[in-house]
Structure formats: C-alpha cells, structure tokens
Amino acid sequence: MRVNDNVADDEWEWYIGQIFSRLIENVCQAEVNNVVEIAPGFRYKIAYALKNINFKETLYVIDTSKEVLKYIAEKYKTILPDSKIICINKSFEDSFADVPNKIDLLLSNHCIDDMIIAEYMQTYYNNNQKNENFKDMLKEAWIELGKDENKIDEISNHIVHIFNDFFKKKKINNIIISQYKSNLYFNEQFKEMDEITDNCFYSVKSLITMDEEKINKILDFYPFGEDERYRGKYLLDNTQNAKNWIVGKFKNKSFKS
C-alpha cells in the first residue's frame, strides 16, 4: 500500500477492487462460498471486489489490530450487507484454527510488506497505526531494516514459511494476492520497502502455479474507460501486471529456505 495516508482514497480502493473482481470472475470456476482475507488495514478494496461479484456468503478477515477490525466490521457491513463477516483478531500465523480447512478463495491486497515491517517493529507497529506520524515511523523502520541483511532474511523466511504452512494445511481453491510497487518506490528517495519486500513476495509466489500470460490478458483492461490517468505505462506495468500478483493454486511441493 501507499505507506500511509490514514484516510483511504476511495477511487483507489475502487480501482484495485475492480482488478480483484475481474481476476476472481476469470479464475474461480466453482461457487465462492467462503473467503479469507489477510490484513485489510483501514481499507476496503476487497469488500468492493466482493460486492462486484455479488458475494453474499462468509468472509473471514484476519488482522492483528483490534481497531482495524472494528473499522472493517462496520465498513464491510455497509458494502456487503448480505454477507457474514467474521473478524479474527490474531496474526495470520496464529489464525489457522479460526478459518475453515476448505477455503474457496484466499485474498489479500499488498500484505507482504506490512507483515515484514510489523514483524520488525513488533508492538511499536500495532500501537502506532493510528498515529499521525506513522508514515515517518514506517519509513525510518524500513531504512533501518535495510541495513540489516540477516534480519531481512530471517523475517522474509519466516513469512514464506507461514504461507507455505497455511497452503499445506488448508485446501484452498484459489489464491489471489497483490504486491504492486508503492508510489514511494517511484520516489527516488525511498526504495527500501519495495526492494526488501520483493524477494519475500517472489518466494511466496514460487509456491503457486500461475499462468502469467493468461493473468496478463485478464489484467489488460481499462476500468476507468477513457480516463487518461489510468492508461499509462505506470499502471499497466505495475498494478495491472501479472508479475506483481499471485493468482493460482498451491503447488504442494515442500519449501526449502
């Protein structure tokens, strides 16, 4: 995500939601009766996506922040009034027993960077999510983490293991996770977040069978029609490019770090 405007940009939420719903419609062959979402933050892209596909079933939302889940419970109810929203106030790693063993669809928008930095910052992360200086705190933490290769490897390996474990223990029909580059990446002064996240994301992606060509065809669309802002290379090479998405099924091969 864009490290941290505290208030969501509704147009951006809608735009990313359009991409998710288009992917869901094109890759999910069977009915989608239960969905798990990891780490929504104070955002609602996935709710918009599920609204687009007329989802009326059960959504499990996992986030370590109580405040986030309070927000999600209220916000998602307005967008998805006919769905059952089950909020799980745990880390992804500790939430396995709280979600079904058979999952139709696992969704997450841009969670890998957040999982990395939250693990690095520990309670300092969760206690400050609503702090107006959170953006600066995050930036400082990323720059500090960027100097510690061992810590980057340790945290990244841990996160890949969590996903691998989850994929192994659950039967998941379809997995859709994004990790496009943040706006900050294009600001020459701050690349640590996206560069540190890349390896971890690609390792999680390597656990999944994915047809990149097919996904790129699905992503080749213009949600804003004639709106020139959304037709440039920046988005087609970033948010609407398969390289920045995980879309598919677990390969079920053992992972070695």
Quick note: the x/- pattern for ligand SAM over 19-58, rule CB under 6 A, is: -------------------xxxx-x-x-------------
Query: C-alpha distances in angstroms, 57 versus 85, 121, 226?
Result: 9, 35, 34
Q: Phi and psi for 179 in degrees, rounded to 5? A: -155, 60
Q: Could you say whether residue 76 binds ligand SAM (CB under 6 A)?
A: no
Using the contact rule CB under 6 A, the part of the chain among 110-118, 181-189, 209-217, 223-231 near ligand SAM is: 110-118
Rounded to a whole number of angstroms, the minimum distance from the CB of residue 8 to ligand SAM is 8
What count of other Cβ atoms lies within 10 Å of the Cβ of residue 189?
6
Choice from 35, 63, 137, 208 touching ligand SAM (CB under 6 A): 63
Stretch that binds ligand SAM, among 109-117, 180-188, 204-212, 247-255 (CB under 6 A): 109-117
Q: Which residues contact 47 (CB under 8 A, 6 or more apart)?
A: 17, 75, 76, 79, 80
The C-alpha atoms of residue 245 and residue 109 are separated, in whole angstroms, by: 9
Closest approach of ligand SAM to the CB of residue 68, in Å: 4
216/240 Cα distance (integer angstroms): 7
- 1: contact with ligand SAM by CB under 6 A: yes
For the beta carbon of residue 256, count every other beta carbon within 10 angstroms.
Answer: 5
Residue 11: alpha-carbon gap to chain centroid: 18
Is residue 99 close enough to count as binding ligand SAM by CB under 6 A? no
Exactly one of 104, 114, 192, 194 binds ligand SAM (CB under 6 A); that residue is 114
Residues of this chain that interact with ligand SAM (CB under 6 A) are: 1, 38-41, 43, 45, 62-65, 68, 91-92, 109-111, 114-115, 118
